[in-house]
Structure 1
Amino acid sequence: MRTVIPDAAAMHEFGRTVAGLLRAGDLIVLTGPLGAGKTTFTRGLGEGLQVRGSVTSPTFVLARTHPSTVGGPPLVHVDAYRLGSALELDDLDIDFARSIVVVEWGRGMLDGIADSWLDIEIERPVGASQAAASVTADPTEVLDATEVFDLDEPRTVTVTPHGPRWADSGEFSE
Protein backbone atom coordinates (compact mmCIF):
# COMPACT_ATOMS: atom_id res chain seq x y z
CA MET A 1 0.00 0.00 0.00
CA ARG A 2 1.31 3.43 -0.94
CA THR A 3 -0.40 6.64 0.16
CA VAL A 4 0.28 10.32 0.65
CA ILE A 5 -0.14 11.68 4.17
CA PRO A 6 -0.76 15.44 3.83
CA ASP A 7 0.58 16.73 7.16
CA ALA A 8 1.79 15.88 10.67
CA ALA A 9 -1.74 15.68 12.08
CA ALA A 10 -2.68 13.12 9.43
CA MET A 11 0.53 11.13 10.14
CA HIS A 12 -0.47 11.03 13.81
CA GLU A 13 -3.96 9.87 12.82
CA PHE A 14 -2.48 7.22 10.51
CA GLY A 15 -0.62 5.85 13.56
CA ARG A 16 -3.91 5.75 15.51
CA THR A 17 -5.56 3.86 12.65
CA VAL A 18 -2.76 1.29 12.39
CA ALA A 19 -2.96 0.77 16.18
CA GLY A 20 -6.45 -0.64 15.70
CA LEU A 21 -5.04 -3.44 13.54
CA LEU A 22 -2.29 -4.57 15.91
CA ARG A 23 -2.04 -7.23 18.60
CA ALA A 24 0.64 -8.59 20.89
CA GLY A 25 3.54 -10.00 18.89
CA ASP A 26 3.25 -7.48 16.06
CA LEU A 27 6.35 -5.72 14.83
CA ILE A 28 6.64 -2.54 12.78
CA VAL A 29 9.87 -1.42 11.16
CA LEU A 30 9.93 2.31 10.37
CA THR A 31 12.29 3.63 7.73
CA GLY A 32 12.81 7.20 6.63
CA PRO A 33 15.22 10.09 6.93
CA LEU A 34 15.43 12.42 9.91
CA GLY A 35 12.20 14.34 10.22
CA ALA A 36 10.20 12.02 7.98
CA GLY A 37 7.54 11.51 10.67
CA LYS A 38 8.56 8.21 12.29
CA THR A 39 8.09 9.49 15.83
CA THR A 40 4.91 11.38 14.90
CA PHE A 41 3.49 8.11 13.54
CA THR A 42 4.57 6.27 16.72
CA ARG A 43 2.95 8.93 18.93
CA GLY A 44 -0.32 8.30 17.12
CA LEU A 45 0.18 4.57 17.49
CA GLY A 46 0.75 4.99 21.23
CA GLU A 47 -2.37 7.11 21.55
CA GLY A 48 -4.40 4.53 19.62
CA LEU A 49 -3.05 1.74 21.84
CA GLN A 50 -3.76 3.85 24.94
CA VAL A 51 -0.31 3.51 26.45
CA ARG A 52 1.16 5.41 29.37
CA GLY A 53 3.82 8.03 28.97
CA SER A 54 4.78 10.50 26.32
CA VAL A 55 6.05 8.79 23.18
CA THR A 56 9.33 10.45 22.24
CA SER A 57 12.27 9.27 20.19
CA PRO A 58 14.32 6.74 22.21
CA THR A 59 17.56 7.79 20.48
CA PHE A 60 19.70 7.91 23.61
CA VAL A 61 18.09 5.06 25.56
CA LEU A 62 17.69 2.75 22.51
CA ALA A 63 14.34 1.35 23.71
CA ARG A 64 11.46 2.66 25.76
CA THR A 65 8.48 0.61 26.98
CA HIS A 66 5.05 2.20 27.32
CA PRO A 67 2.64 0.03 29.35
CA SER A 68 -0.99 -0.11 28.32
CA THR A 69 -3.50 1.80 30.41
CA VAL A 70 -6.34 -0.50 29.30
CA GLY A 71 -4.86 -3.99 29.78
CA GLY A 72 -3.50 -4.35 26.26
CA PRO A 73 0.05 -5.17 25.22
CA PRO A 74 2.77 -2.62 25.93
CA LEU A 75 4.29 -0.57 23.14
CA VAL A 76 8.07 -0.95 22.88
CA HIS A 77 9.63 1.87 20.87
CA VAL A 78 13.17 1.14 19.67
CA ASP A 79 15.69 3.37 17.90
CA ALA A 80 18.12 1.03 16.15
CA TYR A 81 20.17 3.78 14.50
CA ARG A 82 23.24 3.05 16.65
CA LEU A 83 22.83 -0.73 16.53
CA GLY A 84 24.97 -2.70 14.13
CA SER A 85 23.08 -5.97 13.74
CA ALA A 86 20.10 -8.15 14.57
CA LEU A 87 22.20 -9.64 17.38
CA GLU A 88 22.49 -6.23 19.05
CA LEU A 89 18.73 -5.75 18.67
CA ASP A 90 18.19 -9.16 20.25
CA ASP A 91 20.53 -8.17 23.11
CA LEU A 92 18.01 -5.51 24.17
CA ASP A 93 15.94 -8.43 25.55
CA ILE A 94 12.62 -7.15 24.22
CA ASP A 95 9.58 -9.32 24.82
CA PHE A 96 8.49 -9.42 21.16
CA ALA A 97 5.83 -12.08 21.80
CA ARG A 98 3.85 -10.06 24.37
CA SER A 99 4.45 -6.53 23.07
CA ILE A 100 3.79 -4.40 20.04
CA VAL A 101 7.25 -3.33 18.92
CA VAL A 102 8.16 -0.38 16.69
CA VAL A 103 11.76 -0.25 15.49
CA GLU A 104 12.95 2.96 13.89
CA TRP A 105 15.97 2.48 11.59
CA GLY A 106 15.51 -1.31 11.85
CA ARG A 107 15.42 -2.36 8.22
CA GLY A 108 17.73 -5.35 7.69
CA MET A 109 17.92 -6.19 11.40
CA LEU A 110 15.17 -8.77 11.67
CA ASP A 111 17.07 -11.94 10.82
CA GLY A 112 15.93 -14.46 13.43
CA ILE A 113 13.91 -11.85 15.34
CA ALA A 114 10.50 -12.23 13.69
CA ASP A 115 8.81 -14.08 10.85
CA SER A 116 6.18 -11.36 10.30
CA TRP A 117 6.34 -7.58 10.37
CA LEU A 118 5.07 -4.43 8.73
CA ASP A 119 7.68 -2.39 6.92
CA ILE A 120 6.59 1.26 6.84
CA GLU A 121 8.72 3.61 4.78
CA ILE A 122 8.09 7.33 5.09
CA GLU A 123 9.50 9.64 2.44
CA ARG A 124 9.53 13.37 2.83
CA PRO A 125 9.98 15.94 0.05
CA VAL A 126 13.54 16.16 -1.27
CA GLY A 127 13.71 19.92 -0.64
CA ALA A 128 12.75 19.62 3.03
CA SER A 129 16.34 19.35 4.27
CA GLN A 130 17.30 22.57 2.48
CA ALA A 131 14.22 24.32 3.88
CA ALA A 132 15.02 23.01 7.36
CA ALA A 133 18.51 24.48 7.16
CA SER A 134 16.95 27.93 6.91
CA VAL A 135 14.69 27.48 9.98
CA THR A 136 17.19 29.14 12.29
CA ALA A 137 19.55 31.98 11.50
CA ASP A 138 21.71 31.20 14.55
CA PRO A 139 23.95 28.21 13.66
CA THR A 140 24.87 27.74 17.34
CA GLU A 141 21.24 27.24 18.41
CA VAL A 142 20.45 23.64 19.23
CA LEU A 143 17.03 22.44 18.12
CA ASP A 144 15.32 19.09 18.46
CA ALA A 145 15.43 17.24 15.11
CA THR A 146 11.63 17.14 15.03
CA GLU A 147 11.52 20.94 15.36
CA VAL A 148 13.90 21.36 12.45
CA PHE A 149 12.83 18.60 10.10
CA ASP A 150 9.15 17.98 10.82
CA LEU A 151 7.93 20.59 8.38
CA ASP A 152 4.23 20.20 7.78
CA GLU A 153 4.52 18.86 4.25
CA PRO A 154 3.04 15.80 2.56
CA ARG A 155 4.84 12.49 3.12
CA THR A 156 4.63 9.41 0.93
CA VAL A 157 4.08 6.30 3.03
CA THR A 158 4.58 2.77 1.75
CA VAL A 159 3.39 -0.12 3.93
CA THR A 160 4.74 -3.54 3.00
CA PRO A 161 3.51 -6.53 5.02
CA HIS A 162 5.89 -9.48 5.49
CA GLY A 163 5.25 -13.00 6.74
CA PRO A 164 2.32 -15.21 7.65
CA ARG A 165 0.71 -12.78 10.12
CA TRP A 166 -0.10 -10.38 7.29
CA ALA A 167 -0.32 -12.82 4.34
CA ASP A 168 -4.10 -13.07 4.15
CA SER A 169 -5.15 -10.02 6.13
CA GLY A 170 -5.77 -7.77 3.13
CA GLU A 171 -5.28 -4.79 5.45
CA PHE A 172 -2.54 -3.13 3.41
CA SER A 173 -3.39 -3.95 -0.19
CA GLU A 174 -3.53 -1.22 -2.82
Structure 2
Amino acid sequence: MAAEPRGRGPGVVVRVTLPTVEDTHAFGRRLAGLLRAGDLLLLTGPLGAGKTALTQGIGAGLGVRGDVTSPTFVIARVHRPDPVLGGRVALVHADAYRLGDAADPRAEIDDLDLDASVDESVTVVEWGEGLVEQLVDAHLRVRIDRRDDDTRVVDLEPVGGDWASRLAVLA
Protein backbone atom coordinates (compact mmCIF):
# COMPACT_ATOMS: atom_id res chain seq x y z
CA MET A 1 0.00 0.00 0.00
CA ALA A 2 2.04 2.91 -1.26
CA ALA A 3 0.81 6.49 -1.01
CA GLU A 4 2.37 9.23 -3.06
CA PRO A 5 1.50 12.90 -3.44
CA ARG A 6 0.71 14.05 -7.00
CA GLY A 7 1.25 17.79 -7.52
CA ARG A 8 1.83 20.59 -5.02
CA GLY A 9 -0.26 23.02 -3.02
CA PRO A 10 -3.99 22.90 -2.35
CA GLY A 11 -5.60 20.34 -4.59
CA VAL A 12 -2.69 17.93 -4.22
CA VAL A 13 -3.86 14.47 -5.15
CA VAL A 14 -2.65 11.58 -3.04
CA ARG A 15 -2.44 8.36 -5.04
CA VAL A 16 -2.60 5.00 -3.31
CA THR A 17 -2.07 1.65 -5.02
CA LEU A 18 -3.96 -1.23 -3.41
CA PRO A 19 -3.11 -4.70 -4.76
CA THR A 20 -6.01 -6.61 -3.14
CA VAL A 21 -9.54 -6.13 -1.82
CA GLU A 22 -8.11 -6.75 1.66
CA ASP A 23 -5.69 -3.85 1.08
CA THR A 24 -8.67 -1.71 0.03
CA HIS A 25 -10.46 -2.54 3.30
CA ALA A 26 -7.29 -1.84 5.29
CA PHE A 27 -6.82 1.51 3.57
CA GLY A 28 -10.45 2.39 4.33
CA ARG A 29 -9.79 1.67 8.02
CA ARG A 30 -6.69 3.87 7.87
CA LEU A 31 -8.60 6.66 6.12
CA ALA A 32 -11.33 6.43 8.79
CA GLY A 33 -8.75 7.55 11.34
CA LEU A 34 -8.63 10.92 9.57
CA LEU A 35 -12.40 11.35 9.38
CA ARG A 36 -14.73 13.26 11.67
CA ALA A 37 -18.36 14.27 11.86
CA GLY A 38 -19.27 16.63 9.03
CA ASP A 39 -16.95 15.04 6.47
CA LEU A 40 -18.22 14.32 2.96
CA LEU A 41 -16.48 11.88 0.64
CA LEU A 42 -17.48 11.59 -3.02
CA LEU A 43 -16.51 8.24 -4.52
CA THR A 44 -16.27 7.83 -8.28
CA GLY A 45 -15.04 5.08 -10.54
CA PRO A 46 -16.38 2.36 -12.78
CA LEU A 47 -18.68 -0.41 -11.59
CA GLY A 48 -16.71 -2.96 -9.60
CA ALA A 49 -13.78 -0.63 -8.93
CA GLY A 50 -14.00 -1.00 -5.15
CA LYS A 51 -16.09 1.94 -3.92
CA THR A 52 -18.13 -0.22 -1.55
CA ALA A 53 -15.04 -2.18 -0.46
CA LEU A 54 -13.37 1.09 0.54
CA THR A 55 -16.53 2.18 2.38
CA GLN A 56 -16.61 -1.16 4.23
CA GLY A 57 -13.11 -0.41 5.50
CA ILE A 58 -14.18 3.11 6.50
CA GLY A 59 -17.15 1.66 8.39
CA ALA A 60 -14.88 -0.81 10.20
CA GLY A 61 -12.48 2.00 11.08
CA LEU A 62 -15.32 4.15 12.39
CA GLY A 63 -16.64 1.23 14.45
CA VAL A 64 -20.17 1.24 13.06
CA ARG A 65 -22.86 -1.39 13.61
CA GLY A 66 -23.82 -3.95 11.01
CA ASP A 67 -22.45 -4.90 7.64
CA VAL A 68 -21.70 -2.11 5.21
CA THR A 69 -23.16 -3.24 1.89
CA SER A 70 -23.88 -1.47 -1.35
CA PRO A 71 -26.86 0.86 -0.98
CA THR A 72 -27.59 0.78 -4.73
CA PHE A 73 -31.21 -0.33 -4.33
CA VAL A 74 -32.05 1.43 -1.07
CA ILE A 75 -30.08 4.55 -2.13
CA ALA A 76 -28.85 5.34 1.41
CA ARG A 77 -28.07 3.53 4.65
CA VAL A 78 -27.20 4.90 8.08
CA HIS A 79 -24.74 2.90 10.17
CA ARG A 80 -24.74 3.98 13.81
CA PRO A 81 -21.58 3.91 15.91
CA ASP A 82 -21.21 0.79 18.06
CA PRO A 83 -19.66 1.57 21.45
CA VAL A 84 -18.49 -2.04 21.76
CA LEU A 85 -16.46 -1.54 18.57
CA GLY A 86 -15.18 1.84 19.73
CA GLY A 87 -17.60 3.61 17.39
CA ARG A 88 -17.34 7.38 17.48
CA VAL A 89 -19.44 8.72 14.61
CA ALA A 90 -22.23 7.46 12.34
CA LEU A 91 -21.60 6.59 8.70
CA VAL A 92 -24.16 7.59 6.08
CA HIS A 93 -23.51 5.59 2.91
CA ALA A 94 -25.43 6.67 -0.17
CA ASP A 95 -25.31 5.56 -3.78
CA ALA A 96 -26.52 7.98 -6.43
CA TYR A 97 -25.96 5.56 -9.33
CA ARG A 98 -29.66 4.91 -9.94
CA LEU A 99 -30.44 8.60 -9.62
CA GLY A 100 -28.49 9.35 -12.79
CA ASP A 101 -31.53 8.32 -14.83
CA ALA A 102 -33.96 10.47 -12.84
CA ALA A 103 -35.48 13.52 -14.52
CA ASP A 104 -34.05 15.70 -11.73
CA PRO A 105 -31.29 13.85 -9.82
CA ARG A 106 -30.71 16.86 -7.51
CA ALA A 107 -34.33 16.70 -6.38
CA GLU A 108 -33.89 13.00 -5.70
CA ILE A 109 -30.80 13.77 -3.62
CA ASP A 110 -32.73 16.47 -1.74
CA ASP A 111 -35.40 13.87 -0.91
CA LEU A 112 -32.73 11.77 0.87
CA ASP A 113 -32.29 14.57 3.44
CA LEU A 114 -28.53 14.05 3.57
CA ASP A 115 -28.24 17.63 4.78
CA ALA A 116 -30.12 16.65 7.95
CA SER A 117 -27.35 14.27 9.06
CA VAL A 118 -24.21 15.60 7.35
CA ASP A 119 -23.04 17.61 10.38
CA GLU A 120 -23.05 14.68 12.80
CA SER A 121 -21.96 11.90 10.43
CA VAL A 122 -19.30 10.90 7.99
CA THR A 123 -21.16 10.87 4.67
CA VAL A 124 -19.89 8.75 1.80
CA VAL A 125 -21.70 9.13 -1.53
CA GLU A 126 -20.91 6.81 -4.41
CA TRP A 127 -21.58 8.35 -7.84
CA GLY A 128 -22.42 11.66 -6.14
CA GLU A 129 -20.09 14.04 -7.96
CA GLY A 130 -22.02 17.02 -9.26
CA LEU A 131 -24.95 16.25 -6.96
CA VAL A 132 -23.98 16.69 -3.31
CA GLU A 133 -20.99 19.02 -3.05
CA GLN A 134 -23.26 21.85 -1.87
CA LEU A 135 -23.92 19.99 1.39
CA VAL A 136 -20.62 21.15 2.90
CA ASP A 137 -17.95 23.78 2.35
CA ALA A 138 -15.18 21.20 1.83
CA HIS A 139 -15.09 17.58 0.75
CA LEU A 140 -12.82 14.79 -0.39
CA ARG A 141 -13.01 13.46 -3.95
CA VAL A 142 -12.02 9.81 -4.14
CA ARG A 143 -11.48 8.29 -7.59
CA ILE A 144 -11.01 4.52 -7.71
CA ASP A 145 -9.85 2.69 -10.81
CA ARG A 146 -9.35 -1.04 -11.13
CA ARG A 147 -6.62 -2.44 -13.33
CA ASP A 148 -6.84 -5.73 -15.23
CA ASP A 149 -4.88 -7.48 -12.43
CA ASP A 150 -7.51 -6.29 -9.85
CA THR A 151 -5.13 -3.71 -8.36
CA ARG A 152 -7.02 -0.62 -7.28
CA VAL A 153 -5.56 2.84 -7.83
CA VAL A 154 -7.14 5.41 -5.52
CA ASP A 155 -6.71 9.15 -6.03
CA LEU A 156 -7.68 11.34 -3.08
CA GLU A 157 -8.27 14.97 -4.01
CA PRO A 158 -8.95 17.49 -1.24
CA VAL A 159 -11.47 20.21 -2.06
CA GLY A 160 -11.28 23.04 0.48
CA GLY A 161 -11.04 22.98 4.23
CA ASP A 162 -8.16 21.21 5.94
CA TRP A 163 -8.29 18.09 3.80
CA ALA A 164 -4.83 18.63 2.31
CA SER A 165 -3.17 18.72 5.73
CA ARG A 166 -5.15 15.71 6.96
CA LEU A 167 -4.16 13.73 3.87
CA ALA A 168 -0.48 14.63 4.33
CA VAL A 169 -0.17 11.86 6.92
CA LEU A 170 -0.97 9.32 4.19
CA ALA A 171 1.86 10.40 1.89
TM-score, scaled to structure 1: 0.79
| Residue-by-residue CA offset, 1:26-68 (whole Å, 9 max, x unaligned) | 0111101111011110111111000001000001110000000
User: Which residue of the other structure, out of 91, 108, 130, is the alignment partner of 2:111?
Assistant: 91
- Greater helix proportion: 2
User: Which residue of the other structure, out of 155, 158, 161, is the alignment partner of 1:161?
Assistant: 158
SS at structure 2 position matched to 1:10: helix
Q: CA deviation at 1:171?
A: 2.8
Percent sequence identity over matched residues? 51
Q: Does the alignment pair 1:61 with 2:81?
A: no
| Residue-by-residue CA offset, 1:65-87 (whole Å, 9 max, x unaligned) | 00001252210000011224334
Structure 1 stretch 158-167 or stretch 56-65: which is displaced more?
Answer: 158-167
Q: CA deviation at 1:163?
A: 1.2
Within 5 A, what are the aligned runs for 1:127-138? 127=148
Q: From the superposition, tell whether residues 162 and 172 of structure 1 become closer, same or farther in structure 2 (CA, over 3 Å).
A: farther
Q: Which blocks of at least 5 consecutive residues in structure 1 are unaligned? A: 128-151
Name the larger-Rg structure: 1
* 1:72 corresponds to: 88
TM-score, scaled to structure 2: 0.80
* 1:81 corresponds to: 97
* 1:14 corresponds to: 27
Q: How many residues align?
A: 149
In the aligned structure 2, how far is the partner of 1:105 from the partner of 1:13? 22
| Alignment RMSD (CA, Å) | 1.8
Q: Which blocks of at least 5 consecutive residues in structure 2 are unaligned? A: 1-13
In the aligned structure 1, how far is the partner of 2:81 from the partner of 2:43? 21
Q: From the superposition, tell whether residues 173 and 16 of structure 1 become closer, same or farther in structure 2 (CA, over 3 Å).
A: closer
